[in-house]
Amino acid sequence: TANGNGDNIMVAYNSTSTFGTPSGSYTAGNAISGGGTVHYVGSAASLTNHSSLSSGTKYYYKTWSVDGSNDYSNGITDNATTYKAEPTNHVSSFAITTSSTTNDKIVLTWADNDGAIAADKFLIKASAVSYADIVNPVDGTEEADATLIKNIAHGTETVTFTGLTASTTYYFKIFPYTNSGSDIDFKIGSEPQVSETTEVAAMAPAIGDLVISEIVGDDVDGNNNDNGYVEIYNNNQSNSIDLTNVYVRYYNSNPGAVSSTYQLSGSISSKGHIVVTQNATNFNNYYTPVTADFEAGGNFFFNGGDDGVDIIYDNGAKAITILDAFNDNGSGASSWTWDDANVYERKSTGTDGAIISNWNENTSGTGTPKATNDGQALPIDLLSFTTKVHNNSIVLLWQTATEENNDYFTIERSYNAKDFAEVVQVAGAGNSNQILNYRYNDVNADLSQTIYYKLKQTDYDGKYTYSNIISVNSKSNVFEIIDSYANNGIINISINSNVENAASIELYDITGSIIYNNKIELKKGINSYKIDATKYAIGLYFIRVGNNVQTLNTKLIIK
C-alpha cells in the first residue's frame, strides 16, 4: 500500500532474509549491496505477482517506499514458502507384513524412497474387488481417512488397515503427495501395488490351539516392578482364534485353588502371540517397543513360588475346557517351585505345561515377549504344492525345506472344494534340514471334472496342519463358479480359474435389472469375492461372471 504521499514502492527478495540499505535508483533484477534482488519498482497499485520460483522454497521480501529524490523508508519485511511440486519418486519395497495379517487386519510397510522432491505424506487406498477398482486421487482434492483410505506422514513407513472382512482379498496402491488442501499434488502412474487375503473368521479354540509359551517373573528386571507376564501363542497354523470366551486364571501359592480370573477379548491371529501382564505401564516401559495386550491387575503376581497359570474356554454352555497350564492347576501333576527372577520358555507346543521338564528355565537375561521360541516352530516348511495332468492321471508334487517330527502326509481330494476324502498317506521324513521332494500319481481321479486337493501334515503327537487348496482340470481353460450364497448380509462368490485374467461380476434382480457391476482380477486357483447385500431385498437374484472367453450364470436367494 502506498504511503500518505503517494510515493512509489520498491520490493526486493532473497532466500536468506538479509537485506542491504538501498541508495540511488534501481530497476527490476538489480542487486542491492548487502543483500536482496529487486523484484519491482513503481506504484503500489501496479505491483505484480512473483513467479518462476523454485518449489518448496522459503522466500523473504522487503518493501520500501521511495520518493522522487530516491529517499527510502526503513522498509517492512515478510516471507512466504512456495508449494512443492509432486514427489519425484514412488515408494520402494511396498509389501505386506504377512505375519501380522488376521481375519480383520492387514499391515503394510514401505521405504519412502525420497528423490529431489520428497513426499510430505502418502495416500494408501484399498479395494476388496481389484486394483482397477481403486480410483486414482485428483490433484487439489484431499481424501479423508476411512476404512480403506489412509493418509500417512513421511517417515512412518507403515500403515495398519483394520475392520476388514474375513477371507477376503484386498488390493492396495500407494500414492506419495506434497502440500495439502487445494494445493495437494499426487504422483500418479505406475503406482506400487500389493494384495493380501485376510484369514478366515476367528474360531473358538480347541485343545492344542492356545499354548502358554512363556512365563516371566516380575523380578527379571531386578526391581520387582510388577512387569511379569504370561505369553500365549496361537498354535493353530491356519485360523485366528476368537478369545471372547477365553479366560486366564492365576493360582497364588495354593495349587488347585484359583485366586484370580481374567477374561480375554478380541482374537489372536494364526501363529500370533498375546501378552497378559499385571501392570501394563511397567511392562511397556521395560519391554519397549513391545506392548502388552491385557492388564490383569494386582492379583496376577508372577512372583514365583508354587504359583500357577492356566487358560480355559468357557462359553457357559458346557463344562469348562482347560486349554493349557503352567505348573499344577489341580490337574494332578506335581507342582514345583519357580523363581520370579527367571524366564520359562516352553520346549514344545505339543507337551504338557503342568510338568516342569517341558520348560526351559533361563536364569539370566530378560523375557522375549511376542517372539517365536524354538518350541513354536512349524513341523514342516512347505515350499510348494502343485499338480498337473499326465497320462490320464493326476500328478501331485510337493517340496519341503525342513521337517521336524513329521510323521506322514495325507492327500485329500474333492470335486466341489468342500467335501474332501482321503486318497493316500505318504510317509514323512521325521526330521530333516534339507530340501525333500514328494510325488504321488492319483490314477483314480475323475478327469472329466475339476479336482481339488489339499495336503494334510501330521506329526508324531497327532497334531496336524493343512496346505492351501489347489485345483486341476484336464481342459485347457477352466473358468467356473464353484459356490455362491448369501449369509449375514454378505453375498459370497467363489470362482475357480486356471489362468490369471480380468473378469466382471454382475448381479441382477428378478426383473432382469442390473443392480451391481464390478471389474475384478482373477488369480490362478480359487478366488473369493464378497458383495454387500444389506441393501437388497429378500428374494431371487442372478449372478453373472464373465471373462474374455466365456460367461457363467447362477442363481442366488437372499433370505
Model confidence over 427-462: pLDDT tens digits? 998 888 888 889 999 989 888 888 888 898 888 877
State the pTM of this model.
Answer: 0.46
pLDDT score for 305: 84
pLDDT, one tens digit per residue, over 207-223 is 888 999 999 988 888 88
Angle at CA 230, nearest 5°, toward 225 and 232?
Answer: 150
Band of residue 91 on the pLDDT scale cut at 50, 70, 90 = very high
Domains of the chain, earliest start first: 8-81 (no CATH), 92-197 (2.60.40.10), 210-367 (2.60.40), 380-472 (2.60.40.10), 479-558 (2.60.40.2550)
At residue 474, does pLDDT exceed 70?
no
Judged by DSSP in three states, 84 sits in coil
Summary mean pLDDT of the chain: 86
Three-state SS string over 174-207 comes to EEEEECCHHHCEECCCCCCEEEEECCCCCECCCC
Which is more confidently placed, 261 or 489? 261
Residue type, 143: E
pLDDT, one tens digit per residue, over 180-202 is 999 999 999 999 999 998 877 77
C-alpha cell at 40: 519491482
For residues 224 and 538, what is the distance between their CA atoms, to the nearest angstrom?
A: 61
At residue 548, does pLDDT exceed 70?
yes
As a whole number, mean pLDDT of residues 362-389 equals 74
Among 543, 396, 412, which residue's Cα sits nearest to residue 482?
543
Band of residue 408 on the pLDDT scale cut at 50, 70, 90 = very high
As a whole number, mean pLDDT of residues 139-152 equals 95
Task: Give the rounded percent of residues in the chain with a pLDDT score beyond 90.
Answer: 38
